[in-house]
C-alpha cells in the first residue's frame, strides 16, 4: 500500500514537472530550422525564404516578440506568413511592429482561423483530441486590420487569390487559399494551371489539407507552404506528433516533405511549419520547440 502511494506521488510529481517545463520553458525555447530545397530552374540564384506561422500573439509575450524582431538579420529575400498570427484584440500593432524591417521585403500572407476567432481556454491535453474551432456568430478578432497592415507594406494577400511577386532575381507566381480548417478555402477562385513561364510556382495555405494540396499539385505548383499543425504541439520523444488537427498524416506534421508523400519525382515540395506559439487556449509545447524556418531555394538537381 505504501509503495503504491509512493509510486502515485512520484507519477504526480513527474507530471507536474513536465507540465511546468512545457508551459514555462519549451514554449519560449525558439529555434530556427533551415532547409535547402532544389526547386529552382538551372542557373537561378538561390532564394532565401523566411517561413513564419502560428505566432498566436497575446499580450505579454515579450520573448516571442524579441525573437521575431531578430529575424530580419537573416536577410531573407521573401517572407511567407501562413497564418494564426494573432490571438487577442490588441495583438495586431505589436505583431506588425515585431515584423519591423521584414515588412520592407517581399512578402505573402494567408489567414488562419485564429486570426478571426479568439481562443477559448481548455485543458492543454484537449489539443490532442479536440481540434474543432468553436465558431461564434462572427469573427471577434481584428483580422482585417492585420491584413491591411501587411498589405499596406506591399505583402501579397493570398487568401483565395493568385498573384505575382518579384523576390531576389525571381519571378514568382503565387496561389493561396484561406483556412480550410474553417472551410473558408475556395480553390475554385484560383484554379487553373500555374504559369510555366514563372521561375517558381508557390502555393500558400494555413492548414495542409490533402484535398487542397492535391489541387495545387495538379495545377503544377512547385512548392507548398503551410502551418496549422503546431508540429503536434505535445509530442512523444522518439515518436513525434500524436495529432495533426487536419487531414495530413502525422509523419508530415512538420518539416520538409513532398506531396503526395509517394509519387512522381517532380511532385511539389511541401514545408509544414510547426509554428511559433501554442494556442493560448492550450499554452504548452512538449518535445516540439516553437520554430521559424529559413528555406534556401536552389536549382533542381540534374
Ligand atoms: Fe495555430
> For the segment 12-47, what is each residue's pLDDT rounded down to a tens digit?
777 777 888 788 888 999 999 999 999 999 999 999
> For the segment 182-211, what is each residue's pLDDT rounded down to a tens digit?
999 999 999 999 999 999 999 999 999 999
Measured CA angle at 117 (ends 114, 120), to 5 deg: 90
Structure confidence at residue 15 (pLDDT)? 75
* Separation between Cα atoms, residue 124 and residue 186, nearest integer Å: 31
Distance of CA 277 from the midpoint of ligand 1 (Å): 7
Distance of CA 36 from the midpoint of ligand 1 (Å): 25
| Grid cell digits, residue 8 | 502515485
Distance of CA 285 from the midpoint of ligand 1 (Å): 12
In b/e form, how buried is each residue of 143-166, taking b as 16+ CB within 10 angstroms? beebbebbeebebbbbbbbbeebe
Distance of CA 269 from the midpoint of ligand 1 (Å): 21
Distance of CA 224 from the midpoint of ligand 1 (Å): 17
Question: pTM, whole model, 2 decimals?
Answer: 0.93
Distance of CA 84 from the midpoint of ligand 1 (Å): 5
* Separation between Cα atoms, residue 187 and residue 58, nearest integer Å: 31
In angstroms, how far is CA 249 from the centroid of its own chain?
16
In angstroms, how far is CA 223 from the centroid of its own chain?
14
User: Is the pLDDT assigned to residue 1 strictly greater than 70?
Assistant: no
Distance of CA 130 from the midpoint of ligand 1 (Å): 14
Distance of CA 83 from the midpoint of ligand 1 (Å): 7
> For the segment 83-140, what is each residue's pLDDT rounded down to a tens digit?
999 999 999 999 999 999 999 999 999 999 999 999 876 665 666 666 565 556 689 9
Distance of CA 100 from the midpoint of ligand 1 (Å): 22
The DSSP secondary-structure symbol of 255 reads E
CA distances for 58 relative to 50, 65, 174, 279, 281, angstroms: 22, 10, 30, 10, 11
Distance of CA 276 from the midpoint of ligand 1 (Å): 9
At 301, the pLDDT band (50, 70, 90 cuts) reads confident
Distance of CA 217 from the midpoint of ligand 1 (Å): 24
For 6, residues 6+ apart whose C-beta sits below 8 A from its C-beta are none
| SS3 state at 192 | coil
Distance of CA 132 from the midpoint of ligand 1 (Å): 12
* Separation between Cα atoms, residue 157 and residue 189, nearest integer Å: 14
Distance of CA 228 from the midpoint of ligand 1 (Å): 5
- pLDDT (mean) for 55-60: 96
Amino acid at each position: 500500500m505504501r509503495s503504491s502511494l509512493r509510486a502515485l506521488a512520484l507519477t504526480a510529481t513527474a507530471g507536474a514537472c513536465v507540465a511546468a517545463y512545457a508551459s514555462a520553458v519549451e514554449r519560449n525555447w525558439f529555434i530556427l530550422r533551415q532547409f535547402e530545397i532544389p526547386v529552382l530552374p538551372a542557373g537561378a540564384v538561390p532564394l532565401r525564404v523566411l517561413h513564419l506561422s502560428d505566432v498566436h500573439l497575446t499580450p505579454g509575450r515579450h520573448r516571442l516578440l524579441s525573437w521575431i524582431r531578430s529575424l530580419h538579420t537573416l536577410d531573407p529575400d521573401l517572407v511567407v506568413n501562413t497564418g494564426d498570427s494573432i490571438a487577442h484584440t490588441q495583438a495586431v500593432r505589436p505583431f506588425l511592429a515585431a515584423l519591423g524591417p521584414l515588412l520592407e521585403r517581399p512578402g505573402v500572407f494567408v489567414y488562419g482561423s485564429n486570426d478571426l476567432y479568439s481562443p477559448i481556454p481548455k485543458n492543454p491535453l484537449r489539443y490532442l483530441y479536440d481540434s474543432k474551432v468553436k465558431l461564434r456568430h462572427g469573427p471577434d478578432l481584428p483580422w482585417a486590420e492585420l491584413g491591411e497592415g501587411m498589405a499596406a507594406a506591399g505583402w501579397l494577400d493570398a487568401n483565395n487569390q493568385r498573384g505575382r511577386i518579384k523576390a531576389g532575381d525571381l519571378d514568382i507566381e503565387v496561389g493561396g487559399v484561406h483556412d480550410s480548417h474553417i472551410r473558408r478555402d475556395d480553390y475554385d477562385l484560383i484554379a487553373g494551371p500555374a504559369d510555366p513561364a514563372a521561375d517558381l510556382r508557390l502555393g500558400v495555405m494555413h492548414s495542409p489539407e490533402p484535398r487542397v494540396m492535391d489541387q495545387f499539385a495538379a495545377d503544377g505548383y512547385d512548392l507548398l507552404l503551410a502551418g496549422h499543425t503546431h508540429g503536434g504541439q505535445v509530442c512523444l520523444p522518439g515518436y513525434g506528433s500524436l495529432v495533426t488537427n487536419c487531414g495530413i498524416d502525422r509523419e508530415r506534421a512538420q518539416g520538409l516533405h513532398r506531396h503526395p508523400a509517394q509519387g512522381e519525382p517532380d511532385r511539389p515540395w511541401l514545408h509544414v511549419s510547426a509554428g511559433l506559439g501554442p494556442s493560448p487556449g492550450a499554452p504548452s509545447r512538449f518535445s516540439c520547440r516553437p520554430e521559424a524556418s529559413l528555406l534556401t531555394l536552389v536549382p533542381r538537381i540534374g
